Structure 1
Amino acid sequence: MNVMAKAEKKISSAFIYFFGSFGGILFGYDIGVMTGALPFLQADWHLENAASLVGWITSAVMFGAIFGGALAGQLSDKFGRRKMILMSAIVFMVFSVLSGVSPDMGEASAYYLIIVRMLLGLAVGAASALVPAYMSEMAPAKARGRLSGLNQTMIVSGMLLSYVVDFLLKDLPGEWAWRLMLGLAAVPALILFLGVLRLPESPRFLLRKGDEAQARKVLSYIRKNPAEIDQELASIKETAKEERQANQKTSWSTLFSGKYRYLVIAGVGVAAFQQFQGANAIFYYIPLIVQKATGQAASSNLMWPIVQGVILVVGSLIYMWIADKFNRRTLLMVGGAVMGLSFILPAVINWMIPNMNPMTIVVFLCIYVAFYSFTWAPLTWVLVGEIFPLAIRGRASGLASSFNWIGSWLVGLIFPIMTASMPQEAVFAIFGIICILGVIFVKTCVPETRGHTLEEIEEQGTNHGRVKASNPEN
């Protein structure tokens, strides 16, 4: 026992934060890997004119993630964040390998791959729900935005990694190229599994289960000031005491009770808008977008995903620098406005100048990605991690993740169908309008959370009806 205790004490806060957010790598890799694999898969299985089938293969992971996020969120309230992250890594490893070894059976191959990628999506959705919740519960309030932003840095790093792998493998025979691209996703899943084996459980989950001694020990790894530890424990215990006194039984209907409705709508709404704004249309299909704009083969445009990936990584680092300097709402509204204009302006320019340079739309897409990378991309998961009260955090985070993945799935599914039936500029203009609607939603329905403890945010939600009457800004 003493040996184990000494080993536990060697866990550094840097190790905890790094592997606590490493699940984002899995999320990001699988978002990005199909970007490069799809052109080779289309050629190998002769799917060039099967827009709906291509959409399903691409979006199958997101469809599975809808259920993975909800299921993992619920199970994490029972078994803990750490155990569910471990399970997600195992599922991810297994089905990544099965994707890479898809049998060549004609049209049946496509349906096999769709099913396997749906099951893979269970792990991807779980990671998207569990990592923000775990990171927000480990991070101190004053640095929660920056440390929770590590999740986004991991996501975009996973995307960039997949783009680089795709580019390096592009000269292999077509069949081997896409199979290795998909199968190599098992490597970061294995790294995550080995790292999380040494991670402690969330102190808030431990206190909820009545293990105050272990919760104090975990906080001692990540809080340097004993007084800060005592204050945080007292704050968490007070919230838990109030919940017990109310004898509250958490269920799905609880999420939309008067006490929690405001915060749940805000968190789930932001998560949904992030995807319906169309970002993943760029990430999944950028080679095909460039092909349609320029006429060049998609398989020769794999440098463009790397450009997008670099922009995303740089943007995530910029976010970590500014995260705790600006209000969450301000960043979301500014980012959403520029993103909307970046989608709408190409359609306006094309209407005014019908023969505009076809690469104009690609330039505007880069502007969109740049602003998305340090606003909506990281802040969605920061808000999801910090806005939900402890009693419903697992379920609510899962619900937000599911709505996020519903948007991602629909965008991935219908984008190739939409671009086959209308100009690309018109498709992106539709997404631009959704971006503007997202700005309005943030302005009217989302509270400010920067610098507030999780317990203060919960109190703000509980008192929303009374506060809003006197201060509409809340």
Structure 2
Amino acid sequence: MNVMAKAEKKISSAFIYFFGSFGGILFGYDIGVMTGALPFLQADWHLENAASLVGWITSAVMFGAIFGGALAGQLSDKFGRRKMILMSAIVFMVFSVLSGVSPDMGEASAYYLIIVRMLLGLAVGAASALVPAYMSEMAPAKARGRLSGLNQTMIVSGMLLSYVVDFLLKDLPGEWAWRLMLGLAAVPALILFLGVLRLPESPRFLLRKGDEAQARKVLSYIRKNPAEIDQELASIKETAKEERQANQKTSWSTLFSGKYRYLVIAGVGVAAFQQFQGANAIFYYIPLIVQKATGQAASSNLMWPIVQGVILVVGSLVYMWIADKFNRRTLLMVGGAVMGLSFILPAVINWMMPNMNPMTIVLFLCIYVAFYSFTWAPLTWVLVGEIFPLAIRGRASGLASSFNWIGSWLVGLIFPIMTASMPQEAVFAIFGIICILGVIFVKTCVPETRGHTLEEIEEQGTNHGRVKASNPEN
């Protein structure tokens, strides 16, 4: 026991924050890898005219993630964030390899790959729910926006990594190219597993389970001031005491009780809007978007995903710089407004000037990605990690993650079908309207959380619920 304690004391806060957010690499790699693999897979399996099958192969991971997020959220409340991240890494490794060795059995191959990628999605969805919850519970309130933003930096770094891997492998024979692209996802999963083996459990989870000594020890790794540790422990204990006094037993119905409804709707709504705004249509299909705009083969357009990836990484770094300088709501509303206009304007310009340069839409997509990268992309996961009260955090984070993945799955599934039946400009204009609706939702339904402790955010939501209960007409 003493040897283990000494080993734990050597864990630096930088190590904790790095590997605590490293699950985002898995999330990002699998978002991005199909972008480059799809053109080769289509050619290898002769799927060029099978829009629905292409949509299912692309979106299968997101379909599995719907259930992975909800399941991991519940299990993490019972077994802890750390153990569930480890399990996610193992599942991710296994099914990444199985994706890469898909048998060539005609049309049955597509169904095999769809099923395997659905199971892989369980791990992707789990990571998307667990990482924000873990990071928010480890980060101090004054730096929570910046440190939780590490998750987004990891996600977009994983996407950029997948784009670069796709580009480097594009000259291999078609069958080998897409198989290696998918199979190499096991490498970051292995790195995550080895890193998380040394991570401590969340202090809030430990205290909730009655292990105050270990919770104090973990806080000592990441808080420099003993008085700050005492204050944080006291705050968490007070919240836990109130929950015990109320004999709170969480269930799905608990999430939408008067006490929690306001915060749950806010967090789940932001998570859903992030995906229904259409960002992943760009990330999954940018080579095919450029192909439709210019007539060039999709497999020759793999530099465009790298351009998008670089914009995303730079944007995530910009976010970390401004995260705790601007209100969350302000960034979401400004970002959503510009994103909406970036989708709507190409349709307007094309209507006014039918001979518009087809690359104009790609330029506007780059503007969309730039603003998305430092507003909705990182802030969604920051809010999901910090807005839910401790008693329901695991379950509510899982629900938010599931709604996020429902949006991602639907966008991935229907985008190729939509673009096969209508102009691309019209498709993106629909997403632009959804972006504007997201701005309205943030304005009316989302509280400000910057600079507040998790316990203060919970009190804010509880007070809002009491006001609504006493003034039902409001």
- Per-residue deviation, 1:3: 1.6
- Per-residue deviation, 1:472: 14
- Per-residue deviation, 1:141: 0.1
- Per-residue deviation, 1:359: 0.1
- Per-residue deviation, 1:465: 4.0
- Once the two structures are superposed, residues 377-430 of structure 1 have per-residue CA deviations (whole angstroms, 9 ceiling, x without a partner) of 000000000000000000000000000000000000000000000000000000
1:471 aligns with 2:465: no
- Once the two structures are superposed, residues 298-335 of structure 1 have per-residue CA deviations (whole angstroms, 9 ceiling, x without a partner) of 00000000000000000000000000000000000000
- Distance in 1 (CA, whole Å) between partners of 2:338 and 2:473 is 22
- Per-residue deviation, 1:462: 0.2
Alpha-carbon spacing, 1:390–1:416, altered in 2? closer, same or farther (3 Å): same
Q: Which residue of 1 aligns with 2:97?
A: 97
- Per-residue deviation, 1:473: 17
- Distance in 1 (CA, whole Å) between partners of 2:288 and 2:354 is 21
- Once the two structures are superposed, residues 150-185 of structure 1 have per-residue CA deviations (whole angstroms, 9 ceiling, x without a partner) of 000000000000000000000000000000000000
Contact kept, 8 Å, 2:280 with 2:411, in 1: the verdict is: yes
Q: Which residue of 2 aligns with 1:459?
A: 459
- Distance in 2 (CA, whole Å) between partners of 1:472 and 1:319 is 38
- Once the two structures are superposed, residues 275-319 of structure 1 have per-residue CA deviations (whole angstroms, 9 ceiling, x without a partner) of 000000000000000000000000000000000000000000000
- Distance in 2 (CA, whole Å) between partners of 1:417 and 1:259 is 42
- Per-residue deviation, 1:466: 5.1
The secondary structure found in structure 2 opposite 1:59 is: helix
- Distance in 2 (CA, whole Å) between partners of 1:18 and 1:177 is 30
Q: Which residue of 1 aligns with 2:29?
A: 29
- Distance in 2 (CA, whole Å) between partners of 1:278 and 1:317 is 22
Q: Which residue of 2 aligns with 1:47?
A: 47
- Once the two structures are superposed, residues 50-78 of structure 1 have per-residue CA deviations (whole angstroms, 9 ceiling, x without a partner) of 00000000000000000000000000000
- Per-residue deviation, 1:42: 0.1
Contact kept, 8 Å, 2:258 with 2:466, in 1: the verdict is: no
- Distance in 2 (CA, whole Å) between partners of 1:379 and 1:8 is 31
Alpha-carbon spacing, 1:271–1:472, altered in 2? closer, same or farther (3 Å): farther
Contact kept, 8 Å, 2:260 with 2:465, in 1: the verdict is: no
Contact kept, 8 Å, 2:339 with 2:432, in 1: the verdict is: yes
- Distance in 2 (CA, whole Å) between partners of 1:66 and 1:233 is 34
Alpha-carbon spacing, 1:134–1:42, altered in 2? closer, same or farther (3 Å): same
Q: Which residue of 1 aligns with 2:267?
A: 267
Question: Counterparts of 1:122-141 in structure 2 under 5 Å?
Answer: 122-141=122-141
- Per-residue deviation, 1:467: 5.6
Question: Counterparts of 1:45-84 in structure 2 under 5 Å?
Answer: 45-84=45-84
- Per-residue deviation, 1:468: 7.3
How many pairs align?
474
Q: Which residue of 1 aligns with 2:107?
A: 107
Contact kept, 8 Å, 2:347 with 2:425, in 1: the verdict is: yes
TM (normalized to structure 1)? 0.99
- Once the two structures are superposed, residues 126-155 of structure 1 have per-residue CA deviations (whole angstroms, 9 ceiling, x without a partner) of 000000000000000000000000000000
- Distance in 2 (CA, whole Å) between partners of 1:207 and 1:355 is 64
- Per-residue deviation, 1:123: 0.1
- Once the two structures are superposed, residues 357-394 of structure 1 have per-residue CA deviations (whole angstroms, 9 ceiling, x without a partner) of 00000000000000000000000000000000000000
- Distance in 1 (CA, whole Å) between partners of 2:183 and 2:273 is 31
- Per-residue deviation, 1:4: 1.3
- Distance in 1 (CA, whole Å) between partners of 2:205 and 2:214 is 10
- Per-residue deviation, 1:2: 1.7
- Distance in 2 (CA, whole Å) between partners of 1:362 and 1:249 is 50
- Per-residue deviation, 1:447: 0.1
- Per-residue deviation, 1:5: 1.0
- Distance in 2 (CA, whole Å) between partners of 1:120 and 1:473 is 46
The secondary structure found in structure 1 opposite 2:102 is: coil
Contact kept, 8 Å, 2:82 with 2:196, in 1: the verdict is: yes
Contact kept, 8 Å, 2:338 with 2:371, in 1: the verdict is: yes
Question: Counterparts of 1:159-170 in structure 2 under 5 Å?
Answer: 159-170=159-170
- Once the two structures are superposed, residues 31-53 of structure 1 have per-residue CA deviations (whole angstroms, 9 ceiling, x without a partner) of 00000000000000000000000
Q: Which residue of 1 aligns with 2:190?
A: 190
- Distance in 2 (CA, whole Å) between partners of 1:264 and 1:207 is 23
Q: Which residue of 2 aligns with 1:156?
A: 156
Q: Which residue of 1 aligns with 2:284?
A: 284
- Once the two structures are superposed, residues 196-230 of structure 1 have per-residue CA deviations (whole angstroms, 9 ceiling, x without a partner) of 00000000000000000000000000000000000
Alpha-carbon spacing, 1:311–1:470, altered in 2? closer, same or farther (3 Å): farther
- Distance in 1 (CA, whole Å) between partners of 2:121 and 2:459 is 35
- Distance in 2 (CA, whole Å) between partners of 1:159 and 1:377 is 13
- Per-residue deviation, 1:471: 13
TM (normalized to structure 2)? 0.99
Question: Counterparts of 1:232-251 in structure 2 under 5 Å?
Answer: 232-251=232-251
- Distance in 2 (CA, whole Å) between partners of 1:146 and 1:135 is 10
The secondary structure found in structure 2 opposite 1:48 is: coil
- Distance in 1 (CA, whole Å) between partners of 2:455 and 2:114 is 42
- Distance in 1 (CA, whole Å) between partners of 2:67 and 2:26 is 17
CA RMSD of aligned residues (A): 1.6
- Once the two structures are superposed, residues 439-462 of structure 1 have per-residue CA deviations (whole angstroms, 9 ceiling, x without a partner) of 000000000000000000000000
Contact kept, 8 Å, 2:55 with 2:415, in 1: the verdict is: yes
Alpha-carbon spacing, 1:190–1:419, altered in 2? closer, same or farther (3 Å): same
The secondary structure found in structure 1 opposite 2:199 is: coil
- Distance in 1 (CA, whole Å) between partners of 2:467 and 2:232 is 25
Alpha-carbon spacing, 1:396–1:97, altered in 2? closer, same or farther (3 Å): same
- Distance in 2 (CA, whole Å) between partners of 1:470 and 1:132 is 33
Structure 2 unaligned runs (5+)? Answer: none
The secondary structure found in structure 2 opposite 1:44 is: helix
- Once the two structures are superposed, residues 68-125 of structure 1 have per-residue CA deviations (whole angstroms, 9 ceiling, x without a partner) of 0000000000000000000000000000000000000000000000000000000000
- Per-residue deviation, 1:469: 10
The secondary structure found in structure 2 opposite 1:463 is: helix
Greater alpha carbon shift after TM alignment, 448-457 vs 463-472: 463-472
Alpha-carbon spacing, 1:81–1:363, altered in 2? closer, same or farther (3 Å): same
Contact kept, 8 Å, 2:335 with 2:376, in 1: the verdict is: yes
Q: Which residue of 2 aligns with 1:227?
A: 227
Alpha-carbon spacing, 1:33–1:197, altered in 2? closer, same or farther (3 Å): same
- Distance in 2 (CA, whole Å) between partners of 1:42 and 1:471 is 57
Alpha-carbon spacing, 1:366–1:256, altered in 2? closer, same or farther (3 Å): same
- Distance in 1 (CA, whole Å) between partners of 2:442 and 2:143 is 22
Q: Which residue of 1 aligns with 2:337?
A: 337
Alpha-carbon spacing, 1:472–1:216, altered in 2? closer, same or farther (3 Å): farther
